[in-house]
Amino acid sequence: MHLDDNMFIPFLVAGDPHPDVTIELALVLQAAGADVLELGVPYSDPLADGPIIQRASARALKQGMTLPRAIQLAGKMRKKGVKIPIIIFTYYNPVLQLGKESFFALAKENGVDGVLIPDLPFEESEPIRRLGAETNIPLISLVAPTSKERIEKIASQAQGFLYCVSSLGVTGVRDTLPEEIHEFLAEVKQYSRVPVVVGFGISKSEQVQVLKAHCDGVVVGSALVQKVEELSDRLLQQEQHALDEFRRYVEQLVAPLRDVDFYGGVKEDEREKRAARAHSLSAGEVARGSEAAIRVDERH
């Protein structure tokens, strides 16, 4: 896995509104210029998530989605042609229920490139970090605008890339960015040896335009999940126009990060170039904190 700058990192809830639709959406995201995919595992008690992702999780759970099935869904994506890195976004309890070793073994078997566990405290993360290093599936750290000492501690030990939470609280679409976001990102980049991305609340191309000079990528979650919710019935009917509408929405978010053609779409050669780069290096290089550049949701 090769990580670049100006990354666009979308977030999807696995199985929302149906596992087959999630695969199709992943292919659309890749074609629209996504660099990394965050694949969220639905959970019955998603404390870090706002109402949009909570509803999506409920829909996915009704489809029978679980952590093992979400990981296997990543493997199916690989077989269908998804080449960009896939990060599994899961709460910690499902990992414990599956077993830490079994989790990483299954993730490796299905082509997963990283894992992000939002409710795992940094101070308790060493066992997961060790298993991640052994399997070349790095644990992605979250860092929030807290004390300088804590920011330095987390940033200096980050693997893969570092996910900056733009604001405290749950995920969700936000109209404005925090005034102090630029200072926060500058401080994080001072200590981080890996690419720095930012998420939680990003939903507009104007926000992406403002942020791109201050970080290495943006994560968009809730806004995309909300779009999936709006298109849900049409997506379940396999309506091509619904996939096209989703792609256009994604492309306008990606546009500030890319060269664009006259119509505002991402150039085909740019997509192919970035997809090739994204698949060119091993996950092991990411785990070692490769300087080669690699989120938001919103999740954020």
**What are the residue numbers of the active site?**
38, 49
Please name the residues in contact with 202: beta carbons below 8 A apart, sequence gap of 6 or more. 166, 174, 177, 208, 211, 218, 219, 220, 223, 296, 297, 298, 300
Which amino acid belongs to residue 133? A
Q: Pairing relation of β-strands 86-89 and 139-143?
A: unpaired
**298: exposed, middle or buried (C-beta count within 10 Å: 0-12, 13-18, 19+)?**
buried
H or E, element range at 218: strand 217-220
* Distance separating alpha carbons of residues 265 and 252, to the nearest angstrom: 8
Please name the residues in contact with 280: beta carbons below 8 A apart, sequence gap of 6 or more. 2
Q: Which residues pair with 198 in a beta bridge?
A: 164, 218
